[in-house]
Amino acid sequence: MSSVSKGNYYKRETKAWYEKRGYVCEYGEFTCSIALGRRTIYRKIDIFGADVICMDGKEIIFANSKATDEFREDGVSKMKSEAKIKFSKYPFPPGVKKQVVIWQPRE
């Protein structure tokens, strides 16, 4: 599975996970095209650092999903740090939740 398809898979899994818990969710990214001469490059951009945006009438959650092939804690910590840096770029109000969802392989 390529890294792009793996990322899309876990993004869908994250959305489904929240929906099973009663949230209404939408993907929090869009695709942007950049024309470079004769070729076009497509780039996915997260909205406010989130892959999925969820709400249930009581709270709003901006979720960034990640996946790792390893059980090593340092890899998970690095992913958390990267997501926190993304979220820190935006002035979220106090009531908004920012969550990092990290999918790991099963033991």
CATH number, domain with residue 72: 3.40.1350
Question: Which is more confident, 36 or 90?
Answer: 90
- Are the beta carbons of 45 and 79 closer than 8 angstroms? no
Looking at residue 106, its pLDDT comes to: 66
| More confident: 35 or 25 | 25
Which tops the pLDDT comparison, 14 or 103?
A: 14
**According to the model, what pLDDT value does residue 102 have?**
87
Model pLDDT, residue 76:
76
Q: What is the pLDDT of residue 3?
A: 54
Range of the domain at 57: 3-103
Q: What is the pTM of this model?
A: 0.80
Count Cβ atoms below 10 Å from residue 101 Cβ, excluding itself: 21
CA distance 79 to 51: 14
Domain count, the chain: 1
